[in-house]
Amino acid sequence: MNKNRDESSKRAQEPGGSVASDATTVDPDDDFRLVALAQQGDLHAYDALVTRHRGRIFAMIRNMIHQEADAWDLSQEVFIKAWHALPRFEAKAKFSTWLYRIAHNTVYDWARKRKIESAGEFNDEIFERERIDSASFTTPSGGESPDATMANGELRVKIQIALGKLSAEHREVVLLKDVQGLSYKEIAEAMSSTLGTVMSRLFYARQKLQALLKDEYETR
């Protein structure tokens, strides 16, 4: 057991080791192994878990609140909360789904505090920001021509603006389903909701997005 633990810790510390830094390629079994080590107090294993999942959690929160600095802080808070709650994690769900649930609660707590602090003054702007800082969100992927980059950048901004016009619940369900690729069941777990509610929210959110991006659809 100790040998296994040492090996996992060693792997976790390797910068270019076999433990991927992006959850798109991670094996859930690796997660469970690292979680088991972290539950015994192994900080190296937890460091590896943070590295594996920080990208998705940060992207999710940033797309929810549209503020990079706050998203950075909140993402850290998610991992700190997750560490303290780790003894209660029973591996019934994926570790990533559990993290999304903590992220969901963290973002809503943050929004609630902001609402109280501003006494509702900026209520609509906490989640429903229409002005997107295109510079920070439109990182072009490599290999695109300048024209394609510009076109994709514009579409990116339009999608973000359209998402910004949705309610927080509708936006979250779209982000979890269509961007993060979670199943309905996983979304229901992450949002502490029912399958029917998730389906209904996603249906109406997509309809609204389609209406908001009507021009984009018609030009295709």
Give residues in contact with other proteins (CB under 8 A): 21-24, 43, 46-47, 50-51, 54-56, 58-59, 62-63, 68, 71-72, 75-76, 79-80, 83-85, 139, 152, 155-156, 159-160, 174-175, 177-181, 183-184, 195-196, 199, 203, 206, 209-210
DSSP H stretches of helix in 18-66:
28-39, 43-65
Identity of the residue, 122 or 217, whose beta carbon is nearer to other proteins in the bound complex: 217
In terms of CB distance, is 104 or 177 closer to other proteins? 177
Query: Whose CA is closest to 61, among 28, 103, 29?
Result: 103
Of 2 and 139, the one with the shorter C-beta distance to other proteins is 139
Closest contact distance (angstroms) between CB of 120 and other proteins is: 25
Listed in sequence order, the residues at least 6 apart from 192 whose beta carbon sits closer than 8 Å to its beta carbon are 101, 104
Nearer to other proteins, 70 or 125 (CB): 70
Angle formed at CA 60 by CA 195 and CA 176, multiple of 5 degrees:
20
Least distance in angstroms from the C-beta of 188 to other proteins = 12
C-beta of 55: minimal distance to other proteins in Å? Answer: 3
Rg (CA), the chain: 19
- What does the alpha-carbon distance between residue 171 and residue 72 come to, in Å, rounded to a whole number? 19
Least Å distance, CB 76 to other proteins, is 5
Q: DSSP secondary-structure letter at 41?
A: T
Q: Is 75 helix (H, G, I), strand (E, B) or coil?
A: helix
> What tokens were used for 25?
């390629």
CB 15 to other proteins: min, Å: 10
Please say which residue, 79 or 127, places its beta carbon nearer to other proteins: 79
115 or 149: whose CB is closer to other proteins?
A: 149
> Between residues 18 and 139, which has the closer beta carbon with respect to other proteins?
139
Residue 215 CA neighbour count, 13 Å, CB half: 6
- In whole angstroms, the minimum distance from the beta carbon of 189 to other proteins comes to 15
Shortest separation between residue 47's beta carbon and other proteins, angstroms: 6
Question: Closest Cα partner for 101 from 114, 115, 89, 113?
Answer: 89
Nearest to 36 by CA among 80, 1, 75: 1
Phi/psi region, residue 164 (left: phi>0; alpha: psi -120 to 50; beta: rest), is alpha
